[in-house]
Amino acid sequence: MRLVIVGYGNVGRLFGELLAEKMATLRGQYHLTPRIVGVVTGRRGGWIAENPEGIAASVVAEAGWPATVDVPVGAVPFSGDALALLNAVDADALVELSPTNPATGEPALSYVRAALAKGLHVVTANKGPIALAYRELRDTAAQHGVQLRFESAVMDGTPIINLAQFTLPATEILGVRAIINATSNFILSGLVAGQSFDETLARAQQIGIAEADPSLDLDGWDAAVKLTIIANVLMGADIRPQDVVRESSAAHMQTLTANLSAGSVAKQVATITRTAEGVEARVVLHVLTADDSLAGIGQGKAAIQFTTDTMGDLTIIEGPGTPRQTAFGVLADLITIAAHR
């Protein structure tokens, strides 16, 4: 499988390393031999493989690109953007790992549209295009006989989408409760433990969980984007992130945690409920009692609980999310594509 990769930051680099590390397994168990025909980045340029069949991921990893060399052995520099790269090479799949734009989905949305229209499979870890244009992209993929996969867009590499689509046949998801924003959960857990808001936020920023401006996380936008994907993909809804009811957590966190009763905790909980009109999605602060399955989701962790008509409640808990887990979700999606093409 010939790959075009857009974005080669932490996740892209770790994805390349995973490709190299798991190559024997990919070939032996899945009859899959990915090779990279071109890469483009936002700040470090890009390259095209001299061999139309691409370069092995191990060659790229061993070269240390982009940190140590201009291009890997067997490649030539490329200065165009992602759309130009898609037109410059023959590929089987686009791996789209550029930064998320939750407002418009761009420029990733244009990259995904172009790749699907050219008959390429697409794997993306980018929330924006899926939250804002899932139905359009799904239909375009079907029209061209290719697959669109995005496991890493919701909860790192935790198999939320694949779990529902491949292991719960003839099952209706009736509702969702989730803790899916690491920053808000980290800060709330710290406040409950007696730390100050500023101290906990500074710690979250120091270890890379929180952005310099954490408002997208604390005001519920990040969780709303993820919730939109879950609702549209797994529950047949047609909503946008702005349709999600949000509560500004930052304004209430300190007051709420200061007045908790013994054994209770405060969490930013994302919920989807079926209604007569479709679904209602909300991201608000909740006080949870100790017997609630989401109450024990501590700093760095995430969880999602599906209420189903066949299996009752299913709760999936993820430990501290890492870029390697996100990279694994991308690799898992490539394996899914290979298994179902």
Q: Tens digits of per-residue pLDDT, 37-47?
A: 999 998 888 99
Domain at 131, CATH number:
3.40.50.720
Range of 79-88, 259-268, 318-327 with top mean pLDDT: 79-88
Residue 299 maps to a domain: yes
Residue 211 maps to a domain: yes
Tokens 């909980």 correspond to 269
CA dihedral over 16, 137, 102, 267, signed as positive or negative: negative
State the total domains in the chain. 2
For residues 24 and 33, is the Cβ–Cβ distance under 8 A? no
User: Which DSSP string do the residues of 124-181 spell out, in sequence order?
Assistant: E--HHHHHHHHHHHHHHHHHTT--EE-THHHHTB--HHHHHHHHSTT--EEEEEEE--
Domain at 279, CATH number:
3.30.360.10
Same-domain check for residues 186 and 305: yes
Same-domain check for residues 328 and 278: no
* Structure confidence at residue 273 (pLDDT): 97
Residue 113 maps to a domain: yes
Residue 162 maps to a domain: no
Same-domain check for residues 222 and 256: yes
Which H or E run contains 91?
Answer: none
Q: How confident is the model at residue 202 (pLDDT cuts 50, 70, 90)?
A: very high
pTM recorded for the entire structure: 0.94
Percentage of the residues of the chain whose pLDDT score is greater than 90: 76
Residue 251 has pLDDT above 70, yes or no: no
Question: Which CA distances in Å does 281 have to 65, 217, 218, 226, 239?
Answer: 42, 16, 17, 11, 9
Same-domain check for residues 178 and 249: yes
Cα(151)–Cα(159) distance, integer angstroms:
6
Residue 250 has pLDDT above 80, yes or no: no
For residues 311 and 168, is the Cβ–Cβ distance under 8 A? yes
Tokens 């936008």 correspond to 221
Same-domain check for residues 180 and 269: yes
Same-domain check for residues 34 and 142: yes
User: Residues with catalytic annotation?
Assistant: 226
Enclosing domain of residue 102: 2-156+323-340
**Per-position b or e across 41-69, b if 16+ CB within 10 A of its CB:** beeeebbbbeeeebbbbebbbebebbeee
Same-domain check for residues 330 and 291: no
Residue 163 maps to a domain: no
Same-domain check for residues 114 and 175: no
